[in-house]
Amino acid sequence: MQSFRPNPLAPDSLSRALDQFSFHIRHFALYRSIPPHQDKTTVGVQFKLVFLVCGRVDFEAGSRRFVMNPGDALVIPPFIRYTARCTTDEETEYGYAYFDLADSAMEEEFTSLLDCALPALYRGVLAEAELGTICRMVHGLSPEEPGAHREAHILLDWMVLQLARSLLHSSQAAHTAANDAGAQLVRQCIGHLRRVPPREFSVAELCEFAHVTQSYLYKCFQREMNCSPQKFLTLYRLKLAERELCDSSATIQELAEQFGYTSAGAFSQAFKQHFSVSPAAWRQGQRDRTHREPD
Amino acid sequence: MQSFRPNPLAPDSLSRALDQFSFHIRHFALYRSIPPHQDKTTVGVQFKLVFLVCGRVDFEAGSRRFVMNPGDALVIPPFIRYTARCTTDEETEYGYAYFDLADSAMEEEFTSLLDCALPALYRGVLAEAELGTICRMVHGLSPEEPGAHREAHILLDWMVLQLARSLLHSSQAAHTAANDAGAQLVRQCIGHLRRVPPREFSVAELCEFAHVTQSYLYKCFQREMNCSPQKFLTLYRLKLAERELCDSSATIQELAEQFGYTSAGAFSQAFKQHFSVSPAAWRQGQRDRTHREPD
């Protein structure tokens, strides 16, 4: 009769912390740039995880600047306007995932665990052999393949685990974001917005909460997020509205009211300006996608 | 302003089916055998997933015989007595995970999805490059490494996904287990045991449920499970008791009653005979392991 070897892998603190999070992945893909490279400046309303496969990339967002080498990964939180430059003459390839936390109330804990309330670089988290395997897996992710959705989540879970581990192992020196007053102010404001109904979002409200002047708030947002507080609030409100649009059956009119727009038309216009499609078309697109299944 | 590419990875049926399962991993390790190899005959009370890295292994359990080559995986459900023989003169290496379903009520769905109510072979599910990466990861699993618990679960999730996919892709020809009457009878009995209080387990009860004679039941269990129905019931009851021992705070006396033993002493003796430690020591060991954390 076999005698048992007990499980040596009891849940540790890090595992338990990570077990709390589950993700909504929007997009998971590889991107290849062939010289001459073009700079890319963009801003997202989701978290973005990027891992570099080959080449070298200069990343710049507000006061943060990183040089990414193969095996490095980067997490960019929502609403950060950043510029990425491929700086070698070789082909550059990177993988990226856009994702939200399934439970948005967990965002603060997530950014705190990964130290990524502002863009964070994790050096050398992916060894060469792992990079190859991951590239093949990401490359193979196709909506037609049964289980692709689960595979994407497994991949993201694994990468997030590697990032969290690298933080524990590193001296944290590379993660300098957290400590200056401006960055802290911005993070506090984002935390505050999670507790305020979207229709009440205003720059004045943020100033009152943080006990700072509008011009200081402006300076801090501009430096850390590369956009004004007003612009940030617009994006943040739209992000929440977009999520509600997909998850609830509220009418456009109801959503407009809920998110503080003067009319359904004003909401539609703002949405369209940002997402390039109307709220109704976006909702329909998401539903079609959910129903159109590979098997 | 960036326009969104919608997520092409909508949840598909297979992803949703797999999302239902979460596992309790007991052990996840690599095993290396250097010639001269020794045959191994064993029986487990958990599911076992085995994947062959190098060498060749003949597997035999009841009426089922498989030849495993590198990249093949095998799932052995609980209570199967089997023999594994390394049949080449080279080094043989395999990885294995012992696991339970976190929700035992899901066992039937799990075995049905993976077609593994009896041992099932999945040919060529791991490509060579993946094998290398997985071996490194399993090799690196150490209780001292923060996140090891989560990494083991990620690895198991990924492998289970590959097995489920291979079933969809294959002609199912390799999975011949399901169709003969004896195998079906055994599977029905196991399903029935999930709905009966453990103290009522008896061979007579099973015969009545299945409308068969004791000698036919004996023949079927002996052929498919390589043990008698009585032995199977003893193992199954102990497995349930072991889980309850870890998860609840019931006393040994209470557990003895719950699982149909005449006394705490009789329970302890049966437990010790199988698990090589007393119920109290086993419980203490599990608790120590949970509290002794790497960080």
* CB burial string B33-72: b at 16+ within 10 A, e below: beeebeeeeebbbbbbbbbbbbbbbebbbbebebebebbb
CB–CB contact B157 A150 (8 Å): yes
- The answer to which of A48-62, A68-82, B190-204, B255-269 has the lowest mean pLDDT is B190-204
Residues A200-249: tens digit of each pLDDT: 889 999 999 888 999 999 998 888 777 889 988 888 888 888 878 877 88
Distance from CA of A172 to the nearest CA of B (A): 16
Question: What per-residue confidence (pLDDT) applies to A83?
Answer: 93
Average pLDDT by consecutive 10-residue portion of chain B (295 residues)?
48 91 89 88 89 94 90 92 90 92 87 90 90 88 86 95 89 51 83 83 90 90 84 86 83 90 90 83 71 39
Q: What average pLDDT does this structure show over A33-62? A: 90
Q: How many CB atoms lie within 10 A of CB B208?
A: 10
pLDDT value of position A95 = 93
Domains annotated on chain B, with CATH: 14-169 (2.60.120.10), 180-290 (1.10.10.60)
Residues of B in contact with A157 (CB under 8 A): 150, 154
Chain A residues inside the 8 Å CB shell of B43:
1-2
pLDDT band at A3 (very low <50, low <70, confident <90, very high): very low
Q: Which range has the worst mean pLDDT, A45-49, A102-106, A265-269?
A: A102-106
Q: How many CB atoms lie within 10 A of CB B20?
A: 12
Contact B31, A51 (CB under 8 A): no
Q: How far is B118 from chain A (nearest CA, A)?
A: 19
Instruction: Flag whether residue A133 sits within 8 Å of chain B, measured between CB atoms.
Output: yes
Binary contact (B7, A289; C-beta < 8 A): yes
| Interface list for B 18-37 with A (CB within 8 A) | 18-19, 24-28
| Residue environment code for B116-152, b if the CB has 16+ CB neighbours within 10 A, otherwise e | bbbbbbbeebbeeebbbbbbebbeebeeebbbbbbbb
CB B74 within 8 A of CB B121: yes
Top residue of A7, A26, A139, A288 to mutate, by most chain B CBs within 10 Å, is: A7
Grouping H, G, I as helix, E, B as strand and the rest as coil, residue A85 is strand
Measured between CA atoms, the residue of chain A closest to residue B239 is A4
pLDDT at A171: 53
How many CB contacts within 8 angstroms connect chain A with chain B? 173
Q: Give the pLDDT mean for A29-34.
A: 87
Nearest to B9 among A28, A168, A275 (CB): A28
